[in-house]
A and B are shown apart, each in its own frame.
Chain A
């Protein structure tokens, strides 16, 4: 866990008495706010090998592999629909002639995940 609380500034809330009415009887306790600098972990999960896996890197532009690998059983038609949603809604740079190959690959690895 990398959390370097840089403490650029500490703003302490001056308790204000007036106008407080939501839940508690008194004003909320002061809260100190500090600047934050963190590092997010890098995914260690990779797409499995197989025909079409060369295209899976395009999925990784926006999300790690587990988004795909943790899905329930989906048909090839459903994978095609997901790929087209990524292309047309989110702008994934997947060409027309890549959709068939990628959907076949995703349907295959997805089926392999449904063993337990």
Chain B
């Protein structure tokens, strides 16, 4: 239902993967015709036809949403391959039309300025050798991930569920860099800028800010490494801000300027864009206007089934190994529950290795269909703060923060 993976590959390949990996005899095939071409996909909403592209530098096959500036979605089957999303399949999202395509690693500088004692201009080499390196596994998810599944639909980038990924980020603590510069008393926020810009003078530069205490919490990072390598250019080479547990809009790419502010940032991208209703699940009724809006911030939990998809066929009485990924948002995954009766009963899924509270976490379950017909499988996560995925989808006019319990329908034969 709510997964775009259904049309991505010919079902036969899916079947072979499933059978090969689990040795399962319960799964007998998918819903799509064999031999379907893999050059386009249909995401599960109206006007969801998408080209699959290999045309982007340092990227493998991606779902093309927009060529310039690039919006590239990760095909959902990638999430079944492991906890960490490969760099060449990691989703891509840019706002502004000018993106440098040549970056000289020696000439690049990261500046730190503003409400500080001593302005800095750091080379990559300095950043990598003069500060303690840290590494953190963290999910990077677009604020508008799954926007195409909103009902009623809303304008914006029409993503299915693939505007997210998880990587091991290597870099330095933002706190350490700010400490080197010496934050002055009265600092309120820290603003981040990257090398991208608009092409016409009226376009506001893409700037994002964090509160000073958040910026200095020791978790926010400046990353030069992604899964053990330098970042692909389209994912922010050479430096990217990592804001664990928060939506990707804050993870400024090609980060080259840090400004400590003595006021709350009122630039367009903080004050007007990426605002969400200050309501539970950022949810309101279409047409509703009596609510306060606030800048989007931390993520709630989500979970997905990755090895079965809508329309798959399974055999009655035979166990099917079911698995997927979960993440807790701004907290670890505490529990993952799954249901095979549309949510009437929930069972504990088995959780695999914990790579840290901000990471994807793999879950497994054994599903043995007991009667023929259509069966609704569901999965939901609860994070270590006790926050649980909602049974009902949220709605807001920006198409932000979807995290409803996911479900798929399989046919039991």
B partners with A: yes
Using CB atoms and an 8 Å cutoff, list the residues of chain A in contact with chain B: 1-3, 6, 8-9, 11, 13-16, 18-24, 27-29, 31-45, 61-64, 66-67, 70-74, 78, 82, 89-93, 113-114, 116
Report whether B46 and A73 are in contact in the complex, using a CB–CB cutoff of 8 Å: yes
Give 4 new A-B contacts, CB below 8 A, not counting A1-B58, A27-B133, A35-B105: A14-B129, A23-B137, A38-B58, A71-B155
A28 near B55 with CB under 8 A, answer no
Stretch at the interface among B24-32, B65-73, B386-394: B65-73
Q: A70 and B124: CB pair below 8 A?
A: no
A72 touches B67 (CB 8 A): no
State how many angstroms separate the Cβ of B107 from the closest Cβ of chain A.
8
Mask, B27-52, CB within 8 Å of A = 1, is 00000000000000010011101100
Docked Cα-Cα span, A23 to B49, in Å, equals 40
15 A-B residue contacts at CB 8 Å?
A: A14-B128, A16-B129, A20-B132, A22-B134, A35-B102, A35-B105, A36-B237, A45-B67, A63-B68, A70-B65, A72-B153, A73-B46, A89-B202, A91-B201, A93-B200
| Distance in angstroms between the alpha carbons of A45 and B55 in the assembled complex | 14
Distance, CA A14 to CA B133, complexed state (A): 10
Q: Is B334 an interface residue (CB 8 A)?
A: no
Contact indicator per residue, chain B 230-257, by CB within 8 Å of chain A (1) or not (0): 1001000110000000000000000000
Asked whether, in the complex, the Cβ of A70 is within 8 Å of the Cβ of B128, the reply is no
The distance in angstroms between the C-alpha atoms of A92 and B148, with both chains bound, is 26
In the complex where A18-B132, A38-B233 touch, is A11 in contact with B124 (Cβ < 8 A)?
yes
Complex-state Cα separation, A36 to B198, whole angstroms: 21
Instruction: State whether B46 touches A72 (Cβ < 8 A).
Output: yes
Contact A40 B57 (CB under 8 A): yes
B340, CB-defined interface residue at 8 Å: no
Interface SS majority for chain A = loop
Distance, CA A16 to CA B267, complexed state (A):
38
| Pair A33/B228 contact, Cβ less than 8 Å | no
Q: Which residues of A contact B128 (CB under 8 A)?
A: 11, 13-14, 31, 33
Nearest-neighbour CB distance to chain B for A18, whole angstroms, equals: 6
Distance (whole angstroms) from the CB of B41 to the closest CB of chain A: 13
Contact between A3 and B135, CB atoms less than 8 A apart: no
List residues of chain A with CB within 8 A of the CB of B268: 89
Chain A residues whose CB sits within 8 angstroms of the CB of B154 once the complex forms: 72
For B68, B124, B135, the residue with the greatest tally of chain A CB atoms inside 10 Å of its CB is B68
